[in-house]
Amino acid sequence: MSNQEVVEHRQLAIPGGRRPCYAVTGGLGFVGSRLVRQLIAVGDVRIVDVLPESAAVSVTELGCSYHRADLRRPEEAAAAFEGVDMVYHLAGNASGTRSVTDPQFDFDTNASATLNVCAAALTASVQRLVFLSTAMVYGRPRYTPIGEDHATDPFLPYGASKLSAEHIVQSYHHSYGLDTVIGRAFTIYGPGEDPKTAGGEVGQYLRWHLNGRPVLVVGSPNDKTRDFIHVDDLATALITLGSAGKSGEVYNLGTGGEYSMSDLVSMIAEVSGREVEVAVDGTVTDDSYRHVPDVTKLQALGVPAPRQLREGIRQLIEELGPNPELPGLPTAFRAEKFNGQLAPVLASAEQ
């Protein structure tokens, strides 16, 4: 099966022979919108998002419905899942920078909202909840490749709020019998990233390069390595968790590949057909480590093979065009006082 195909979905108990109904929280976001496009092939899809309905037009034209809700409000979450068979919970803050500059917002949207989602899913008797977490819960790796049993020791508020959300999801599984599966995403790239908030290296590097700007490599170009997963392959992996993941389990979501920042720059030059101008900032080394997962557990579920990074870069160059919007926000690992204001420290991002 190619990575463009949707894996056979979990056999849900659907009364009256109707199509299953899937809710995707954050369904207008980077990952959520791509997941919606795959799910509509196997069932009815309800997008649950906080954005105004006008923002959902392009996605709802695909044939899904839209339910506006601020999941930080228990009463709005409670109304979101009536008649839903499976929930994919992707909504939340995905910006490490904002988690540093506004940790309260980060915790409210990632942890508190997840509590409300779990409570609402339980009340609505959904048959499974799939939660998208992040590999940032591991913190700085103690060994690689990183297995799901690696210690969790996040150093960003973002990682801490996501880990808190994981504990909430697991507690609802163990205490209330809610069928749950958790996926921890590694570095995501692909079409649909918002350059104003996203900081993944593939998207950032391409946006600078395609505009004729130098590519800023933060940290050690050779020692800093990542596993890059295309957003569509991530969506397919999430569907695999919904269909075949073991209840109560956690899975790494990546490809198992490993590329240094030097490797990435060389590949971009090869695919684009022109040399990449590079500027190296070695003063910030917070994330100059190997961030590579063991994906044996995911592969055992029969997930389709992901596309090669070179092919993903080629596709993204075509999507972005010659003059894409430039990256707009660095990622902060720390916040420093500067004239009474929080000043983000420039660094690269995981997502």
Statement: 189-226+257-291+308-344 belongs to CATH 3.40.50.10490:
no
Taking only the tens place, the pLDDT of each residue in 199-250 is 799 999 999 999 999 999 989 999 999 999 999 999 999 999 999 999 999 9
Q: Which of 117-131, 164-178, 186-200, 263-277 has the lowest mean pLDDT?
A: 186-200
Q: Length of the chain in residues, anyone?
A: 351
Check whether 112 has a pLDDT greater than 80: yes
Q: CA-to-CA distance for 184 and 228, rounded, in angstroms?
A: 13
Residue that is written with structure tokens 């997840």 in the block: 114
Check whether 316 has a pLDDT greater than 90: yes
Which value, to the nearest 10 degrees, does the dihedral of the CA atoms of residues 55, 6, 138, 188 take?
-50
- Give the residue range(s) of CATH 3.40.50.720 domains in the chain: 20-188+229-253
Please report the pLDDT score of residue 220 as a whole number: 93
Token code pair at residue 169: 């999801």
pTM over 0.85: yes
Q: CA-to-CA distance for 144 and 150, rounded, in angstroms?
A: 9
Taking only the tens place, the pLDDT of each residue in 124-169 is 999 999 999 999 999 999 999 999 999 999 999 999 999 999 999 9
What mean pLDDT is reported for the chain? Answer: 91
The DSSP string of 138-184 is G-S-SSSSBPTTSPP---SHHHHHHHHHHHHHHHHHHHH---EEEEE
How much is the average pLDDT of 20-30?
Answer: 97
Q: CA-to-CA distance for 203 and 311, rounded, in angstroms?
A: 14
Closest CA to 192 of 25, 69, 32: 32
Contact between 316 and 191 (Cβ < 8 Å): yes
Please report the pLDDT score of residue 1 as a whole number: 38
In the structure, how many helices (H) and strands (E) does the chain have? 12, 16
- Give the residue range(s) of CATH 3.90.25.10 domains in the chain: 189-226+257-291+308-344
Vertex 31: Cα angle to 127 and 279 (nearest 5): 150
Instruction: Say what percent of the chain tops pLDDT 70.
Output: 91
Which residue intervals of 259-308 are DSSP H helices? 261-272, 296-299
Q: What confidence tier does 10 reach under pLDDT thresholds 50, 70, 90?
A: low
Check whether 323 has a pLDDT greater than 70: yes
Residue 322, phi then psi, degrees to nearest 5: -75, -25
Which CATH number is 20-188+229-253 given?
Answer: 3.40.50.720
Q: CA-to-CA distance for 19 and 326, rounded, in angstroms?
A: 42
Taking only the tens place, the pLDDT of each residue in 259-271 is 999 999 999 999 9
Residue that is written with structure tokens 């929930």 in the block: 87
228 three-state secondary structure: strand
Q: Find the largest Cα–Cα distance for the chain.
A: 64
Give CA separation, 58 vs 27, 33, 44, 192, 244, in Å: 12, 10, 17, 13, 30
Token code pair at residue 93: 């803050």
Q: CA-to-CA distance for 156 and 308, rounded, in angstroms?
A: 30
Residue 153, number of CB atoms within 10 A of its CB? 14
How much is the average pLDDT of 270-288?
Answer: 92
Please report the pLDDT score of residue 336 as a whole number: 62
Residue that is written with structure tokens 């949207």 in the block: 109
Instruction: Say what percent of the chain tops pLDDT 90.
Output: 79
